[in-house]
Structure 1
């Protein structure tokens, strides 16, 4: 007989139903030690009063991990807290990294050990209870990183998208510049370089602002995304959690700093505020997440001067903590509710 434990939310109304957890059942948070997003969700889970286990992958060597054909476990060497993988109720794969202590290993072994840890983490995740809720499943996450696939799915759902070309050919790039008044450059994947110390942002290019010939020639070894430049009235960061949609308006055009890319943050001059989406746009956002098999993600859109909504991309692990802090949108509480919800 499976023993069930009952957890009551102390902040809920007296008529609210309690959460039922099986004995030893836990929510697993796969993240890193310095992640404010996870901190906010941890606070929300504590407020609800349900058991969870935080696994900081950058400190993985501080845990004892055991995996077999029948399951496995993770135990914190610091607290002796343990989670059994076969009893994981839901898992939030927020951040993955190799142990930071690898920087102290001899150079000749770092690449080898990084590969071992990356594969080991994949094996660990594959041992999790098959009926667990994934936010998000690693396979869905990998598929969703394909930006061309995202754009095709969005267009198929009736969302407007920019014309897009992904190329490593300098001659194609020059042809695009000659055909369009202005184009936007974006990296194909992660924009972080120099061990996380720098970021590559979207850049506006026209015939008068061509990069140097050396940079153009370098495109051959650096495939890049080029899109038609869309004039903006403002931008939207739309965080979808389950069936809930949290839209934030980013008034990026109020500052020259963030005019092309709002990630060049200018918080003193760029207002962030809650926004209400047209019902049709909201439904298409939910349909997009469903098509991509994502339970959570951050969608970026432009609203043009003609009030057209243009989809740019979705990030399955997109940042949202600053949006919550600036707008009060209860994103972390909704993620906590989603993780509690399966049973």
Structure 2
């Protein structure tokens, strides 16, 4: 099979705007695409992989009843936050959970074992790259500036940190996700400002992640895809948006920003450190022009950045999946 005829697997939920944008770019380049969600497996998706002694990799098929791709022909994999496998209701517990874990491991690990196939991003690397405390260490090693931070369940340690910072503080989740408050309601736990005068024994109840509150001229959602770096500029016009722009989209002004060479170099080092090709980085730019790294989401959203700014992020995804890195 010629390189041009080899398919790209797009593994994403059915309603995912970023995946739609990447598929459109691949279609424009006449690259065959097989898109599916892991939630289709094993009930609507068939996977068969065979490995024989002395063979370089796995062979077989993945079939969703409309399209079929041969594993040995897969050109690249775009793994975009798919759902987990869905097991038939006829399978009782605890066997249903066991079956779900087996299906999850099979489809991910079999695809990950395909030799020489580029990923955006391999979830095995994503899991490690998503750890926020370790990100600060990696970012520092790669040449970025990071905020002073503490993770603690000690009120005394939190008060001592606040005294050392001697300025505004914020508190943020260590692990992303939403809070299930019942009745099908889920709330985002946002970054918020805290007053050290309020620190009390409630800090003992769990780990808390405190940081110095960095002064911001504006913020940047920096998208890195392969060798491409895109800067989406976010200027906030409310206190809520200035603390966590996800809480007040109505008070954000969007633009593009040139990423300094030293920051772009540090970002590329960061990606190489984790062995990933994509990242959605959050930076603050201070009134003096200093870029401060907050965190990187290796499966972060970016469709809204392209839609608001016109930056060709989806095209960069397509080029990478086709084998072009610059």
Pick the TM interval, shorter chain: 0.7 to 0.9
**TM-score, length-normalised on structure 2?**
0.87
Aligned to 1:29: 10
Aligned to 2:115: 130
Post-superposition shift, 1:152?
1.4
Post-superposition shift, 1:227?
1.3
Alignment of 1:1-343 (within 5 A): 3-4=1-2, 20-21=3-4, 25-60=6-41, 61-69=43-51, 70-77=58-65, 79=66, 81-99=67-85, 111-127=97-113, 129-180=114-165, 181-194=167-180, 197-208=186-197, 210=198, 213=201, 215-219=202-206, 223-252=207-236, 254-267=237-250, 269-341=251-323
**TM-score, length-normalised on structure 1?**
0.83
Q: Answer yes or no: is the 8 Å Cα contact 1:165–1:226 preserved in 2.
A: yes
User: Cα gap change, 1:103/1:295 in structure 2, threshold over 3 Å: closer, same or farther?
Assistant: farther
Q: Secondary structure at the match of 2:292?
A: strand
Q: Secondary structure at the match of 1:188?
A: coil
Post-superposition shift, 1:113?
4.1
Please, which runs of 5 or more residues in structure 2 have no aligned partner?
A: 52-57
Q: Answer yes or no: is the 8 Å Cα contact 1:177–1:206 preserved in 2.
A: no
User: Cα gap change, 1:173/1:98 in structure 2, threshold over 3 Å: closer, same or farther?
Assistant: same
Structure 2 CA distance, aligned partners of 1:317 and 1:239? 11
Deviation string, structure 1 residues 246-274 (Cα, Å, up to 9, x no partner):
1011012x12231201111323x311111
Post-superposition shift, 1:109?
5.3
User: Cα gap change, 1:88/1:168 in structure 2, threshold over 3 Å: closer, same or farther?
Assistant: farther
Aligned to 2:55: none
Deviation string, structure 1 residues 73-110 (Cα, Å, up to 9, x no partner):
21012x1x111222211111111321356789766555
Structure 2 CA distance, aligned partners of 1:168 and 1:217? 5
Segment of structure 1 superposing worse, 161-170 or 191-200: 191-200
Segment of structure 1 superposing worse, 289-298 or 107-116: 107-116
Structure 1 CA distance, aligned partners of 2:59 and 2:321? 21
Q: Secondary structure at the match of 1:159?
A: coil
Q: Answer yes or no: is the 8 Å Cα contact 1:159–1:310 preserved in 2.
A: yes
Post-superposition shift, 1:341?
1.7
RMSD: 2.4
Q: Answer yes or no: is the 8 Å Cα contact 2:159–2:199 preserved in 1.
A: no
Aligned length: 314
Post-superposition shift, 1:277?
1.7
User: Cα gap change, 1:196/1:36 in structure 2, threshold over 3 Å: closer, same or farther?
Assistant: farther
Please, which runs of 5 or more residues in structure 1 have no aligned partner?
A: 5-19
Post-superposition shift, 1:196?
8.0
